[in-house]
Structure 1
Amino acid sequence: MRGLRNLLILMLVFGCFSQLELFGQRYQLKDGRKAEKIKFELLNNLMIIPMEVNGVALSFVLDSGVNKPILFNLADQDSVQLNNVSEVSINGLGEGEAVNALRSHGNRFRLGTIENASQELFVVMDAAINFSPTLGIPVHGIIGFDLFRDFVVEIDYGKRFLKFYDPKAYSYKRNANSESFDISLVHNKAYLNAKVGLENDETVAVKMLLDTGSSDAIWLFENDSIVLPSNNYEDFLGKGLAGDVYGKRTRISHIQIGSFVLKDAKAAFPNMSVFGAITDLGDRNGTLGGALLKRFNIVFDYPNERISLKKNRNFKLPFQFNISGINLQHAGVRYISERIMNVTENTEYGNVQIMMAGATRLSLVPEIVVSGIRVGSPAYSAGLKEGDVILAVNGKRVHRYKLQEILQMLNKGKHESVKVRVSRLNRDLIFSLKLKELFK
């Protein structure tokens, strides 16, 4: 089915840059509005928002850690017009080389009633750079700084909506449960001061990048003061534009932001080689990502270099670790047949309904495959392999669930057995995973 995707046609419109295009145009609320409310989908701790690019409806990750919008995974679009195009190389997170891309000026972006008539963007042409399989839905790009720069942005992770305010019309509401902090903007990225408790409860002051585009909780960079706890394991941390990211995963005693304290927090120490091409780390000590940020409702105020945090219903949720050691992703679709008994469907002519009993229904469902196995994990010990197609978990057929729900089923308990049925080389196999606590 992947071969049936529509071919991407890039309509490269070359022309002279106007002065407006050279210096860019800001996002504006239309029709005299003072705010715009947008619903988002939260997948793997990432906010997915709808965005039109030159009239084409796409989906973007709202990523406060990215400067200019980056497009990828456009193969399911008939055509996307890109204006004023040149070839460039861009650096990103990962242990690979810089990637080839297109740079484009003068593109029209629209989000609800918010519009920018002359947005600069980059397009990564490498088909391997695609975050959709690990999220379970089509995602075509990432966008960040330009939106945060032009608005006061309220993020309600609890109710899953964004609200973009005209900075001139926004007024802070007094709330006893909310705290405000200064942030610093360096190279168009926001940094916040915090404290982390490491091994033996030693507390260290840290300067952290605020990155809504990271699905992880906390990344820390090891130095003389920030020491990796002795209880850790090697793990795959995620994908960057320049390749896969690996490091050590661990748990720290706490992280403190103002009076907010999150205990037993999930943390990772990435291999610093992944930052080889990135030269602006400065005095940064790490990153705060979506798994931590989603525990607050947040107001980002870039114009005044300020942020407000308020606990939400996610605050006391325990941090989730991949206990099973299985990484999953979508890998196209497959057919399944289901025996249907005593069904009163499928076609209706006026008031006459066709009754079907003992019928077989053929359905097209997502194919969920094992994309990685952590060495030494319960999945590794049980004999699961990369490339196995997941059919069922504890008797529940996985095609009825979202990707993130399947991962939760695989990691639901610290001292439980999880039965996984897979297809391998046209054979159905059943494995029993003995889950155990990673950190005692």
Structure 2
Amino acid sequence: MKVKVLSRNPDDYVRETKFDIQRVPRNYDPSLHPFEVCREYTRALNATKLDRVFAKPFLASLDGHRDGVNCMAKHTSSLSLLLSGSCDGEVKLWNLSQRECVRTLQAHEGFVRGMVVRFCGTSFFTVGDDKTIKQWKMETPGYGEAEEPLNTILGKTVFTGLDHHQTDGVFATCGQQVDIWDEQRSSPIRSFTWGVDSFSSVRFNPVETQLLASCSSDRSIVLYDMREAAPLKKVIMTMRSNTLSWNPMEAYFFTCCNEDYNLYTYDMRHLHQPVTVHLDHVSAVLDVDYSPTGKEFVSASFDKSIRIFPKDSGRSREVYHTKRMQHVICIKWSADNRYILSGSDEMNIRLWKATASEKLGVLTPREREATNYRKKLTEKYKDFPQIRRIAQHRHLPKTLFNQSKELKLMKEARRKKERNLRKHSKPGSVPVVSEKDKHVVAVVK
């Protein structure tokens, strides 16, 4: 005889909680859910509000320097190691997971102008006002060992910038000229000049590793190829650029930060006009660094704030500031794309979250699903007026708010003057110049 038995497995209808909550089966037929858009809009609105409520980007302050932090360097293979150099010649190595200084050394007399970690991560280089290039071991010396550099090169002039090749034992310095050095030699293997008094920064391209670019004092950005005997070309702007950063995912694009409060993203193949002009800062922009994904970059400014820009947007998506933070001199985006490090005048290094409302720690699968669902909802409804207003609103310090308002009035006055001049002049005598064309003076090859 055949007997049929009812069998119910609790895993099929009970959720994974300490309470026996019943699972609710759902029919996804659109005809059964006529008000789905209304519900999704309400959820997107609530998700946007919660995103602003939980936006707490500041994580920690690394205090220990006795002078302003002038430069920083990321380790090539370790996420928890950071190097910083200050204006008194001191270099510190920080353990970010423990948030403490693990090593201090007096590297130079005067400012530490630049520092970079060798591609293999076993040593790092520093340059300073004492006209020297020094190479240091990454490991802390043992008990009784003196803190001595592995190698010291004495230059003829002050070095103002430094960068290392991605895969070879070659590094570049800048000062009165751009020099390419081999680690095994005490004199440069190649030097580039183009009628420029001095250079402020030099950067290797992380994708096309034979290319590099520098910012110079004559308001120009110069491009070089190590395989050539002379520089490739340069673009001259209306004001001087301080530093630049290459996009790590797109070989031809770089972003420079300028004294005219803006940042400019260029395609090195078409330098006659920037691809994007990034506004929002109200004072000179001093440093810029790309995220590892190449989709965003972060900028440090003299206006005591840092801003995060999408690479193809003219406006920042985020602005970070604190009451005690002064002029931000250097900025770095961590290699895991989750954190931002800023060094400022008042001797502090600050650690920030790249996404202000991101929850730190391990997420359960349900938390991750809920986070992704809310993120997709806010992306879907981001252009609705109320959601856009909440998402874009930021509280700014009074000085920053007043400066941005004053800058807006000045720009509007200039536009109004141009319109009136064009209106009362002979047709075609006052051409319309776009914002992208205003800032480029010439391209020289």
What TM-score results when the alignment is normalised by the length of structure 1?
0.26
What TM-score results when the alignment is normalised by the length of structure 2?
0.26
Q: Larger C-alpha radius of gyration, 1 or 2?
A: 2
Greater helix fraction, Structure 1 or Structure 2: 2
Greater strand fraction, Structure 1 or Structure 2: 1
